[in-house]
Structure 1
């Protein structure tokens, strides 16, 4: 085999070239290359990149706002407990555990802390895919355990008081009745209600509302009760033809916001005194709808289709508390005893 030779720069004398470089030199080269290839980022820049990714991915506005809010609060808390947010590679699991203890010391609710843990875990999974970190510091950190309870619901008397409160001789009163009756008779979510358009309401046959902008991205049809059909028909006739196709509008003919609806519900809660027993909110109407349907013996799978729940877990809680099957079953087998 031909030997590799090179000339000495001084005397021109051929010398043997070394076939191997020293291990020390190899290590330096590899380390330098590795440092150049690994991307780095701080918490703020990475979170902005993550939110951009969420928008491009097509996540709902509310979902993007959720991540934006929770990550902002997380970054603020990280800074307060000296977590190295300047380089997210340095954020480790103990930092996340310290973050949980810090949130608890501030008196944050379990749901609030769990929301921030979910947002943080998803964000750092994104950073892991981008190569900003080698492992997710949230991995192995469990959600805080909480009691599985069903929130407060209206009694039929309270619901009746609320629905009788609006002055239907005015446009605002008729609209507010239509809003509350839609909540009460369909169990629809606030964001779903504010996204309804006039063309989403059909009066053919028994009538129905087509929820196009559902939380789980699956459109669904909700049949109208006789009363809701009559009230919506009267409201839409009074609403008239406008430039906007939003179903529920303000007196200025602009789409009504979720915040405005919440304020109107609070107003009627104070007017009727119901708010002293139960917080009058869109979700209280939704919980009440589920409870009344369970008490009426509605099949849980039918109820899931009506409410658009992604899983049966929450609905099972209503069945366990408000189902009438236990009362019927408790006497079985004890005849004559």
Structure 2
């Protein structure tokens, strides 16, 4: 037998019918979002994750306002509002993967509101995510990668730094946020490795250095020198920690100057995809690749294996020896 529950929207009616004067605490959408983001910070979520939630919920709010949804009481939201949000995003031309990220954020937010008893039901959870074709994004060819790495002017500090950064992306497959968070003490030249402390899944991991990356990083460290203003591994000419936007801009500029940008997108994530492609083509198993790249699960990597593995080519003739 289903358990009977008293919905929040009925409480005022019950109190009125019973002549009760008990006041109800009403939480607005904005108030609930503020509590949710604060909860994420207290829980220890990364700054990147909290900002991502903030960005997606801001977009959700924008659409709600455009659709004249009442945001003064979080209990007033309905399944229809979230379904309308998805439709408006599709009509606006957003990618299905982007819409799914926003919908998943809304569902996590809804779960939080239910746990806090701000509302009785998470109506976002009733809206299904969109079906997405599993495709692999752009990657560099070996020739394109060589042209990119040949572009920086190594007679300048910035040129050596950018070359080292691009080589690190190419040889480790690390994320942009991971690279810009590396401090000098995270680099172990004696052990020929980097210990990533600030990762997406919050699990530190050790990344060995290739011989060529070790050699290049050794030279970069000598040019960088030691100063008291910052411990960041990669810095600007003014001894400030380099930020994500600068790295993205510099890679794009080298892509433009080399001509690679006219052929394929040039970004840290394309380096990451390329790293996965080359490792799979070289026969590295998926679990080792997962450890190197810091994936929480191998779901995404399975797509790379399906496209780039040569196992099927090797297996196609086996069992076909008949006359």
For this structure pair, what is the TM-score category when the shorter chain's length is used for normalisation? over 0.9
CA deviation after TM superposition for structure 1 residue 144, in Å? 0.8
Q: 1:190 to 1:27 in 2, by over 3 A?
A: closer
Aligned counterparts of 1:332 and 1:261: Cα–Cα separation in 2: 47
Residue 10 (structure 1) aligns with: none
TM-score of the superposition, structure 2-length normalised? 0.92
Structure 1 or 2, whichever has the larger Rg, is 1
Q: Structure 1: give runs of 5+ residues left out of the alignment.
A: 1-25
* Partner SS, residue 126 of structure 2: coil
Residue deviations 1:80-99, cap 9 Å, x none? 11212121111110111111
Deviation at 1:32? 2.6
**Of 188, 201, 212, the match for 1:227:** 212
Identify which of 151, 163, 169 aligns with 1:183.
Answer: 169
Q: How far, CA to CA, are the matches of 1:45 and 1:330 in structure 2? A: 59
Match of 1:217 in 2: 202
Aligned residue in 1 for 2:125: 139
Q: Distance in 2 between matches of 1:27 and 1:322?
A: 64
Deviation string, structure 1 residues 73-124 (Cα, Å, up to 9, x no partner): 1111101112121211111101111111111111122122112111111112
Specify which of 275, 288, 293 is matched with residue 307 of structure 1: 293
RMSD value, Cα = 1.5
Aligned counterparts of 2:67 and 2:17: Cα–Cα separation in 1: 37
Deviations 1:169-221 (A, max 9, x none): 1100000010000000000000000000112111225x111111111111111
Runs of 4+ in 1 over 6 A off after TM superposition: none
Deviation at 1:27, TM superposition (A): 7.1
SS at match of 1:139: helix
Match of 2:233 in 1: 247
* Residue pair 1:39, 1:131 contacting (<8 A) in 2 also: no
The 1:173–1:134 alpha-carbon spacing in structure 2 relative to 1, beyond 3 Å, is same
* Secondary structure, aligned partner of 2:206: strand
CA–CA separation in structure 1 for the residues paired with 2:19 and 2:81? 27
Q: Does 1:32 align with 2:20?
A: yes
CA–CA distance in structure 1, aligned partners of residues 143 and 271 of structure 2? 13
1:44 and 2:44 matched: no
Query: Residue 95 and residue 239 in structure 1: after superposition, are their counterparts in 2 closer, same or farther (change >3 A)?
Result: same
**Number of paired residues?**
309
Structure 2 residue aligned with 1:291? 277
CA distance in 2, matches of 1:130, 1:68: 19
Calculate the TM-score normalised by the size of structure 1: 0.89
Cα distance in 2 between the residues matched to 1:125 and 1:314: 25
CA distance in 2, matches of 1:149, 1:241: 44
Q: Structure 2 unaligned runs (5+)?
A: 1-13
* Greater mean deviation of Cα atoms: 196-205 or 277-286: 196-205
